[in-house]
Structure 1
Amino acid sequence: MRKTHLNKLSFFLLCISLLLPLGKGLGQEQPKKTMGIIQLIKELEESHRIKFSYLDTVLSGIELEKPNEVDLDAILAQIQQRTPLIIKKVSDRYYSISQKNRITICARVLDNFQKNTIPGATIQVLGSSKSIITDLEGNFSLSDIPRTATIQINHIGFKTRFVPAEKLIQQPCSVVAMVQSYQELEEVVVYKFLTEGLTKLTDGSIELNTGGFGILPGLSEPDILQTIQALPGIKSVDETVSDINIRGGTNDQNLILWDGIKMYQSGHFFGLISAFNPYLTDKVTVIKNGSSARYGDGVSGVLDMRTKNTITNNFFGGAGFNLISGDAYGQVALTDNLALQFSGRRSHTDFIDTPTYTTFSQKAFQDTDVQADSDFYFYDFTGKVLYDFNPYHRLRISLIHIKNNLDYEESDLDGSPTNLSYLDQTNLSFGGILESDWTTNFSTRLSVYHTKYQLNALSISNEARQRLVQNNLVIEKSAKLNTTLQLSEDLKWDNGYHLTETGIANRTELNEPEFLSNSKGVIYNQALYSELSYRSPNQKLAAKAGGRLNYIQNPDTFDEAILEPRLNVSYTLAPFFKTEILGEFKSQTTNQIIDLEQNFLGIEKRRWVLADGNRLPITRSKQGSWGVNYDQNSFYAGIEAFYKEVDGINVRTQGFQNQNQFNGEVGSYAIKGIELLLNKKTDTYSIWLSYTYNQNDYSFNTLVPSSFPNNLDVRHTATLAGNYTYKQLKLGLGFNYRSGRPFTLPDAINPVDNTVVPNQIVYQAPNTERLAEYFRADFSAIYDFSITDNIKASAGVSVLNFTNRRNNLNTFFRLNDADTLERVERLSLGVTPNASFRIRF
């Protein structure tokens, strides 16, 4: 029985082996024979007793079908028709061969997966106006093309291909295979709101595209960190971009990325101006909750900035100035696959006084009654190299340098110097990204960076008797590998490994009383993450679910594994109605301690430190939110409720200015709130109303009382604003309101105690009082016009706080030189005008 089965199997395999070559011969045309042009030339030299003069490099790699002619002239004509070569007869025996400067090309465009033809593909000769589309069979041909030209092939659903024209002169016509391009699942726009260039995506994040940005009240030109404060749940309680609070968190709890590089410095000019050039920043993504597992750090929020990332043949750029600084930027293509990008900005505040600079200075140095002379300037520079090895492998190298420099001198009314201060704040970062498409559905992204932040501050006071030196150094190195597998059109799988090494050093030296503190440490963080993204075929459901496993090690004190699940779900309940459920667990190992709170300047008070597992534990958060959006006929309404807990905070990172200022207690805070946004938008105007309610409370078990309002507990925040466009004129007007933040009063009966510690302020229960309400009205106007056909220009004016209301941003108490109690109030900016002029080309 077994032998019978074996005989049948052998017979079956024999039949298959015989039929396969037969089927191939019947069903497919035998390929035509080709030969190298050099071999053909040698055969002609031998058979016709002639000689050809040529360069091997000119003929190398050229192949063609063997001519079926016998006559020499006919053969040479056929060679010239089928190759980019010119053959000239020098004498009866000698011929010369050279390359043509203009050629004719042709090809058939196919899908490299199904091998189907692609009709309607756009064929563009880069650097010229010549273009054509493929016919119904996917074929195209173009004549009189520069031999060195590059051909760009585009079609919806496929990745763009760039092919040297020389490779398309073969006869018969070449075949060009196109790789299918799957749309990123998270790139689905829910609504474009507030102003042009601001969009909300399906995953709940907000995307800012600076190229098509409109106008916001108070800004005569875009400022990334000022712009995001127009969104519900994002504010700065002290009117700066270097202290942005996302859902009640401190600024150091935000993850700020520039081209994938973590930034430890974000502001210029006492934190009033963003340190990032908006004109080369192509896309900014703001995430308040439900972040991808690819992101580590940032227990409060994520701000991910990406500069322009595409090579274009045309040079573009621009320049401009305002009452604080001047800048220029541009991108130039060095070759078809290599481009250089740059931007630079410098303030003119050290040699020109303007109304804007005067107002900024008054805010920074307002808590002194003596005369002051300051010499301040800042600059920033960015550079980027864009190189495409081919359409499937792309390399990007980025550099950013940020610097603030301040010399400050306080003098008595008679002109005698009393205090001297020097501040130098520098950030230098560079990184690289290699993106590779290995197949139609598998790609990788390898990114590395090195960032260095340094703060050097010197303060000489009390008529040169007291000398204080502060130094803060952060060095971070990182490598991340992300893989993306497109399982289907609707399902994507991301996996990755992320390694980070963060080293921080701090030094404080004081001569009177004598004090020296010198500390440094390093933390290693290894993370594995995985995430699935799904979008249903009917587009109703979009979901991401994943997790991140961190292994964090401080060689001196601790090592710990932390699992962070992430969830992001959006579902269309009914026409025009969507609901969102977002959640995340996150952690971070770096914080900013805020010491010497009564010093004159806000920048040097904040110094980066590492978690030590004891007094500064790893900070962890968990957050969940649920929201509903309505979008129909240019009207948008959205409401979102959220709850967030952050554990592992230290009072030194929270900016206390009361009895808890110098304590080292560890605790937590919990915040719950609701965010509401209403927006009516048409082609000519947009008007919006946003409202946020927060309740933000601390919990410190060792303090009395153990629970009290957070220093950032601003219960009510509202904005009513709008913009209007009439031809080339854009106008913006906005009103901002928020309730007062809490502060602590000294004891009414015995404010100063000398019984235990000399001259110690005695306070009431922490944060039981509230500042007055905050109100600010802003205006801006921008006019666009053309200087020439290729040069566009814009002129803008803006006024912050045009009602000149002096809002109280913060209140604290201190002892003066006479050891008597005095109250210090930090007031907001007064009327702050600005004007700008820009050109772009």
Structure 2
Amino acid sequence: MKLKFNFLILILVPFLLINKLIAQDDSREIRYNLKDYLLKIESIHKVKFSYSDSVVDKKFVTSDRSNSEIQSILSQLRKETSLKYEILKERYIIVTDFKLNNEYKYCGFIFDEKQKTPIESANVLVKRLRRGVSSNSHGFFGFNNITESDTLLISCLGFKSKTIFLKNLKKKKCVEIYLSKEITELEEVVVADYLSEGLQNQVDGSVVVSPQKLTAISGLTEPDIFQTIQFLPGINSPYETASDIFIRGGSPEQNLILFDGLKMYNASHLFGMISPFNPYTINDVKIYKGGTSVEYGNHVSGVVDIQTKKQIPNKIKGGIGANMTHFDAYLNVPIGKKIGVLVSGRRSLFDVFETPTFNNFSSKVFQNSVIGNNKPLIGSTYENKNDLNFFDIHTKITYDISNRDILTFSYLNIQNKLDYSFNTINSNRYVTKDHLKIKNLGISLKWNHEWSDNINHTISMHSSEYDSYYNYEGEFNFGTPYFQKALKTNFIRDNGLKVVVETKLNKKSAFLSGYEFLNTKLGFDINRVTTVNNGYFYDISDDQHNNLHSFFLNYSFNKKSKTILNLGVRVNYSSLSNKSFLSPRIHFEQEFLKNLFVKTSYEDKQQFVNQYFETHTSDFGLENQFWLLMDNSNALPILQNKQYTLGFIYRSDKNIFDIDLYKKVSSGVSSQTRGNMGNIQGVQEGTGEVTGIDVLLKKSFGSYVSWINYSYAKSTFNFPEVNGGRSFLSNLDITNNLQWTHNLKYKNLNVSFAWLYKTGTPYSLIDSVEDDGTFIVETLNSFRLPSYHRVDFSSSYEFSFDKLKRWNGRIGISLLNIFDTKNILFRKNKRVYNGENFESQIVDNISLGFTPNVVIRVFMR
């Protein structure tokens, strides 16, 4: 309780100090706030001042001459504020900073035409050079190495692009450029701000997340990609983790996660609590919940496509930061005018020193594992050593070969390691050692070429490696001494080639066609040996490979974003099963009233690699799943899924109401996956079904935004030999999921607050236990845990170290589960032997308690 009180004081004190400073009265002289003074002048003289808030902030004038002639007023303002005031045509006056202007040959500010707010991260491209810069947090950009004959192309996701001819501008003049949110034909963006800044809806039904534009998200100190997308309806994590994403009832292994074209088989740090991708190097993330583009294959649930920055900067940019779990650094460096190098790295801190955040994370992760079960025994008799760490490294090289060719190379290395030992103090009477290492690394190469204004292609290649290694050794020197050893390895080698050709037929229609080849090699080895009871040994291993050939074609039609159609088909051939599969996709949207659209989609997808649970090393309690290739046999059926969606969306500048009704039907479902593990004896094949509704209601009140996100999803399975042939709920079914979020942005301060409610997950009661330990359950998952409640809070503040806003900083705080609510995430039954026979024991997994986190960052733009 004391810890929570201290953090609440940490939040309140800055606000009280700010309020006190604002309330102070300077009795020595009367000073007028420049911004208020300009508003008064506008009212009297019918003129319009245009400026960035950063330019007029903390500026004052000492006399009121607002009733004087406009030229006299401007003369007074120049002397007292040291700013530049230029009258353009009619009565339009631009206010800029002399120092800011003089540093560049050409410069400007980019603003939202309606909100009159600066646009950060807008792309300003020099057409001749095919390179450019991005606007900073105040909308500012500047150039030195360009000529009067150059043309600037200004674009930003969610806004209409604009072309600027420098010959029409004057040197040393900093212009203001306004971008409109109106939609152009064939432009992808439909809603600029779907939930908050940095979350945008697309005409193909996907949602794009831009981490650099995100405002505060409740419970987060950093813009973690996986935790952010859980604020979208239809996406949640029953495990209360970052990376275990369930999209419309589909489990995490059914999602396709791509990082610069690399397929991710391990997308987590700290057993799912942290995503392994540095958000400060990511340009955007595209998420599909339904109606997925034909470009994407080998999955049956959602798609998370992550693309890192590829723009070549005009100067060195970077940053460094730390929170209470890890630190990171990144650098974006131009090498000449045509090459840019982006480098980033992150590493855990908790193997150096422990923090309250890590202690809470580890308590949640290690509960009901060997590590958690041994913890109460640590003391005078036993001791342990827990060495846990992670790191990720990413490098990207962008080469602008010509004005029509761009070549990019990416390298990613993600590693997690755990070394745990438990033994009697100062003796080898009882010694156990567990070693776990998981890595996912890969390289990708992509070439974009424009044949003409209407035809372009993208050729990409990738090579990805996944390795999971677990080793256990136990030595027991009491009674009759014996030892045990266990080993589990799982590897994947994934190599691919993808060719995509985009052809624009006219202003309304376009074709996308392509071919993808995937060569997947996969193997596993599980063995155990012990000397107890005369010893025994087993070794289960296998390795396979599959060549997957896919052809796809899509036709798109967009009539002023009022009629939108994406009609496509993908054909997949699997060499392992020697079978072809047809995968049609469709997404349609039609406006039938102003701002009100009806939308529908259909997709049929297949997955040729899946994740199963194994019980041979389950006594460790961590990472008990492993990957297998599907050969379409009875034991390893190819997973297939069909999804139907019908919905409506109303959108305006300040309001969004979005509702989707959907149904998912799956075949080739195995009983040894996350939704069923622990309930069913043996391996069974069956079907799955999810029926759901996703609802989003968002309202904007200037800088304050509030939205309600509700999902209803009923997820059931049916196995003919199980539960009397009757359907039963998935282990991780969350029928109702409600989030109410509030975001407020005041100048450089961001505040976010959210309340989460979920239906408890189902569980089974064991009716009896047979002599061999087999559980007898009359009705599977007929009981449900209590409902889940949680309240989260986040706040961040940005500041600058210099007047040119080159060096900036950010401090932030997050509070997860403010009221320390104890939620049961899921319940399972554990088989125990009491010395005479087997019996069932209930094991609950408890949610994360009250968890604070803080972050501090320094970055240069």
Q: TM-score range by the shorter chain?
A: 0.7 to 0.9
Query: Partners in 2 of 1:126 and 1:150 — Cα distance?
Result: 16
| Equivalent residues of 1:594, 1:655 under 8 A apart | no
Aligned to 1:696: 715
Aligned to 2:465: 452
Structure 1 or 2, whichever has the larger Rg, is: 1
Aligned to 2:399: 387
Aligned to 1:370: 374
- SS in structure 2 opposite 1:274? coil
Query: Partners in 1 of 2:617 and 2:818 — Cα distance?
Result: 29
Matched, 1:426 2:407: no
Label 1:573 to 1:520 Cα distance change in 2 as closer, same or farther (>3 A).
Answer: same
Query: Partners in 2 of 1:239 and 1:127 — Cα distance?
Result: 42
Aligned to 2:543: 520
Matched, 1:318 2:319: yes
Label 1:702 to 1:821 Cα distance change in 2 as closer, same or farther (>3 A).
Answer: closer
| Equivalent residues of 1:645, 1:668 under 8 A apart | yes
1:729 Cα shift? Answer: 1.5
Query: Partners in 2 of 1:385 and 1:128 — Cα distance?
Result: 16
Matched, 1:485 2:507: no
Aligned to 1:545: 567
Residue in structure 2 matching 1:650, options 651, 667, 670: 670
Label 1:353 to 1:535 Cα distance change in 2 as closer, same or farther (>3 A).
Answer: same
Label 1:639 to 1:123 Cα distance change in 2 as closer, same or farther (>3 A).
Answer: closer
Aligned to 2:222: 221
Aligned to 2:408: 396
- SS in structure 1 opposite 2:253? helix
Residue in structure 2 matching 1:677, options 696, 699, 723: 696
Query: Partners in 2 of 1:760 and 1:420 — Cα distance?
Result: 30
Aligned to 2:68: none
Residue in structure 1 matching 2:824, options 803, 808, 827: 808
- SS in structure 2 opposite 1:311? coil
Residue in structure 1 matching 2:605, options 559, 583, 586: 586
Label 1:186 to 1:817 Cα distance change in 2 as closer, same or farther (>3 A).
Answer: farther
Amino acid at match of 1:391: N
Amino acid at match of 1:453: Y
1:241 Cα shift? Answer: 2.5
> Would you say how many aligned residue pairs link Structure 1 and Structure 2?
676
| Equivalent residues of 1:125, 1:150 under 8 A apart | no
| Equivalent residues of 2:671, 2:677 under 8 A apart | no
Structure 1 unaligned segments of length 5 or more: list them.
1-120, 130-144, 162-181
Query: Partners in 2 of 1:476 and 1:405 — Cα distance?
Result: 22
Label 1:601 to 1:579 Cα distance change in 2 as closer, same or farther (>3 A).
Answer: farther
Aligned to 1:288: 289
Aligned to 1:712: 732
Q: Could you list the per-position Cα deviations for residues 481-537 of structure 1 after superposition, in whole angstroms to 9, with x for gaps in the alignment?
A: 11111111111111101111111010001113411011000111101111111111x
| Equivalent residues of 1:160, 1:391 under 8 A apart | no
| Equivalent residues of 2:763, 2:785 under 8 A apart | yes
Which segment is superposed worse, 410-419 or 395-404? 410-419
Aligned to 2:45: none
Q: Could you list the per-position Cα deviations for residues 615-634 of structure 1 after superposition, in whole angstroms to 9, with x for gaps in the alignment?
A: 11111111110111112340
1:753 Cα shift? Answer: 1.9
Q: Could you list the per-position Cα deviations for residues 167-223 of structure 1 after superposition, in whole angstroms to 9, with x for gaps in the alignment?
A: xxxxxxxxxxxxxxx989362222513221011122221110112111111001110
Query: Partners in 1 of 2:683 and 2:148 — Cα distance?
Result: 64
Q: Could you list the per-position Cα deviations for residues 221-249 of structure 1 after superposition, in whole angstroms to 9, with x for gaps in the alignment?
A: 11001101111110111012332110111
1:256 Cα shift? Answer: 0.3
Residue in structure 2 matching 1:763, options 777, 780, 796: 777
Structure 2 unaligned segments of length 5 or more: list them.
1-124, 134-143, 164-182, 376-383, 477-481, 531-535
| Equivalent residues of 1:191, 1:631 under 8 A apart | no
| Equivalent residues of 1:444, 1:484 under 8 A apart | yes
Query: Partners in 2 of 1:574 and 1:763 — Cα distance?
Result: 53
Amino acid at match of 2:447: L
- SS in structure 2 opposite 1:225? helix
Aligned to 2:5: none
- SS in structure 2 opposite 1:440? coil
- SS in structure 2 opposite 1:267? coil
Query: Partners in 2 of 1:824 and 1:769 — Cα distance?
Result: 15
Query: Partners in 1 of 2:604 and 2:314 — Cα distance?
Result: 44
Residue in structure 2 matching 1:794, options 810, 820, 832: 810
Query: Partners in 1 of 2:321 and 2:619 — Cα distance?
Result: 32
Q: Could you list the per-position Cα deviations for residues 523-573 of structure 1 after superposition, in whole angstroms to 9, with x for gaps in the alignment?
A: 11101111111111x43111110100111111xxx2111111110111111
Q: Could you list the per-position Cα deviations for residues 651-701 of structure 1 after superposition, in whole angstroms to 9, with x for gaps in the alignment?
A: 1123534441x4111111011111111111233111111111111110112
Label 1:821 to 1:465 Cα distance change in 2 as closer, same or farther (>3 A).
Answer: farther
Label 1:339 to 1:353 Cα distance change in 2 as closer, same or farther (>3 A).
Answer: same
Aligned to 2:64: none
Label 1:310 to 1:664 Cα distance change in 2 as closer, same or farther (>3 A).
Answer: same
Query: Partners in 1 of 2:702 and 2:336 — Cα distance?
Result: 39
Which segment is superposed worse, 464-473 or 204-213? 464-473
Amino acid at match of 1:825: D
Query: Partners in 2 of 1:128 and 1:245 — Cα distance?
Result: 39
1:728 Cα shift? Answer: 1.8
| Equivalent residues of 2:190, 2:561 under 8 A apart | no
1:649 Cα shift? Answer: 1.5
- SS in structure 2 opposite 1:653? coil
Residue in structure 2 matching 1:630, options 643, 646, 650: 650
1:636 Cα shift? Answer: 1.1
Query: Partners in 2 of 1:357 and 1:820 — Cα distance?
Result: 35
Label 1:820 to 1:123 Cα distance change in 2 as closer, same or farther (>3 A).
Answer: closer
- SS in structure 1 opposite 2:605? strand
Label 1:419 to 1:682 Cα distance change in 2 as closer, same or farther (>3 A).
Answer: farther
Label 1:630 to 1:462 Cα distance change in 2 as closer, same or farther (>3 A).
Answer: farther
| Equivalent residues of 1:799, 1:833 under 8 A apart | yes
Aligned to 2:745: 725
| Equivalent residues of 2:723, 2:778 under 8 A apart | no
State TM-score, norm by structure 1.
0.77
1:725 Cα shift? Answer: 1.6
1:762 Cα shift? Answer: 2.9
Query: Partners in 2 of 1:597 and 1:506 — Cα distance?
Result: 13
Query: Partners in 2 of 1:242 and 1:721 — Cα distance?
Result: 21
1:817 Cα shift? Answer: 5.1
Label 1:570 to 1:599 Cα distance change in 2 as closer, same or farther (>3 A).
Answer: same
State TM-score, norm by structure 2.
0.75
Label 1:410 to 1:314 Cα distance change in 2 as closer, same or farther (>3 A).
Answer: same
Query: Partners in 2 of 1:732 and 1:793 — Cα distance?
Result: 19
**Alpha-carbon RMSD:** 2.7
Amino acid at match of 1:227: T
Query: Partners in 2 of 1:805 and 1:485 — Cα distance?
Result: 54
Aligned to 2:172: none
Query: Partners in 2 of 1:739 and 1:583 — Cα distance?
Result: 28
| Equivalent residues of 2:130, 2:402 under 8 A apart | no
| Equivalent residues of 2:130, 2:403 under 8 A apart | no
Aligned to 1:60: none
1:399 Cα shift? Answer: 0.6
Matched, 1:153 2:151: yes
Query: Partners in 2 of 1:239 and 1:150 — Cα distance?
Result: 56
| Equivalent residues of 1:126, 1:152 under 8 A apart | no
1:164-563 alignment, distance < 5 Å: 185=186, 187-367=188-368, 368-371=372-375, 373-411=385-423, 417=430, 419-461=432-474, 463=476, 465-512=483-530, 513-536=536-559, 538-554=560-576, 558-563=577-582
Amino acid at match of 2:373: D
Q: Could you list the per-position Cα deviations for residues 377-405 of structure 1 after superposition, in whole angstroms to 9, with x for gaps in the alignment?
A: 00000000100110101100011000000
